[in-house]
Amino acid sequence: MKLNFPLYTAAVFVALLSLSACKKDRTSDNTPTTQEEDTQYADDMAKADQAFDELDGIADQADALGNVALKGGSNPLGGCATVTKDTVGTPDSLTIDFGSTNCLCKDGRYRRGKIIITQTGHYKDSAFNRTFGFSNYYVNNNQVYGSKSVTNMGHNSAGHMFYSIVVDGHVVLNSTNDTISHIANRTRTFTAGENTPQLSDDEYDITGSGSHTKATGKTYAMNITSPLHVALNCNWIKSGSISILPQGATFPRVLDYGNGNCDDSATITVNNKSKTIILK
């Protein structure tokens, strides 16, 4: 079974945290954006995006292995979750229960509560759909709620299988009790490895847009302006660019991953001022 782990999120937000090193633009009322604001919104966005992006990998492990996953290994469920599968009804249901108290999972994150999944068909079947819901679910004491759906859209005109990913989610930050709203509409398209059983040759293009809204109501719009190319045999996004525009700002922050090399270099541009950064 193919396990679909989105690898781009961490690199995106490590890079965003470096925005404070660039010269800042000014908002429409001529107030400079601050280093603290740029750093904080990037950190908050990272928490929200990661909480929803990692669900696919968790669901794949639970679906493929069930309670075998409790034996450990590198998967995030190891030692923490009880997996309940119901394949009698339609759609199938899958409940991943981390318990009512924090458990340190194999990926180094504490989780508690339940992820509740309904799905129809198999990942590579046309019209496959998987929907996520939550019951008192927390990651590192940040509450996660809302919904996420993944739908296999079949093959595009170029013959590549692609998926629609829609997120309407929220994260309540333990540190401040503020709620981040996280909206995303993305398309994940196979460009290589679709017809092989191993993961190492899988490659995807990711397109789409989204937004994050802070408790204050300020919104940060995100748009993938050039497809993010992800190869599972590379630790970095190989190419593509993202535009992030804080509400009220004149100029977007443009993050560019280059033209296809597997390396840790990216460029951030604000108001024609560019800086090369090293992703960590």
- Read off the pLDDT band of 69 (50, 70, 90): low
Poorest-confidence range of 47-51, 137-141, 219-223?
A: 47-51
DSSP for residue 70: G
5 neighbors 269 (Cβ within 8 angstroms): no
What DSSP string describes 197-257?
A: S-STT-EEEEEEEEEEE-TTS-EEEEEEEEEEEEETTSSS--EEEEEEEETTBSS-EEEEE
Give the pLDDT of residue 29.
Answer: 40
Give the pLDDT of residue 205.
Answer: 93
**Average pLDDT over the chain, rounded to an integer:** 81
- Which residues neighbour 235 within 8 Å (Cβ) at sequence distance 6 or greater? 7, 262, 264
201 neighbors 193 (Cβ within 8 angstroms): yes
**Statement: residue 151 has pLDDT above 90:** yes
* Cα 197 to Cα 10: distance, rounded to the nearest angstrom: 26
Task: Give tens-digit pLDDT for 76-129.
Answer: 677 788 899 887 777 889 999 999 999 998 888 899 999 999 999 888 888 899
Choose the most confident range, by mean pLDDT, from 133-137, 246-250, 251-255.
133-137
* Cα 188 to Cα 198: distance, rounded to the nearest angstrom: 18
The number of C-alpha atoms within 13 Å of 211 and in the hemisphere containing its C-beta is: 11
The number of C-alpha atoms within 13 Å of 238 and in the hemisphere containing its C-beta is: 13
Name the helix (H) or strand (E) containing 18: none
Tell me what the mean pLDDT of segment 240-265 comes to: 88
Give the pLDDT of residue 8.
Answer: 52
- Which residues neighbour 40 within 8 Å (Cβ) at sequence distance 6 or greater? none
- Which residues neighbour 19 within 8 Å (Cβ) at sequence distance 6 or greater? 38, 39, 42, 253, 268, 270
**Statement: residue 207 has pLDDT above 90:** yes
45 neighbors 38 (Cβ within 8 angstroms): no
Give the pLDDT of residue 176.
Answer: 87
Task: Give tens-digit pLDDT for 4-51.
Answer: 444 555 555 555 555 544 444 444 444 444 444 555 666 677 778 788
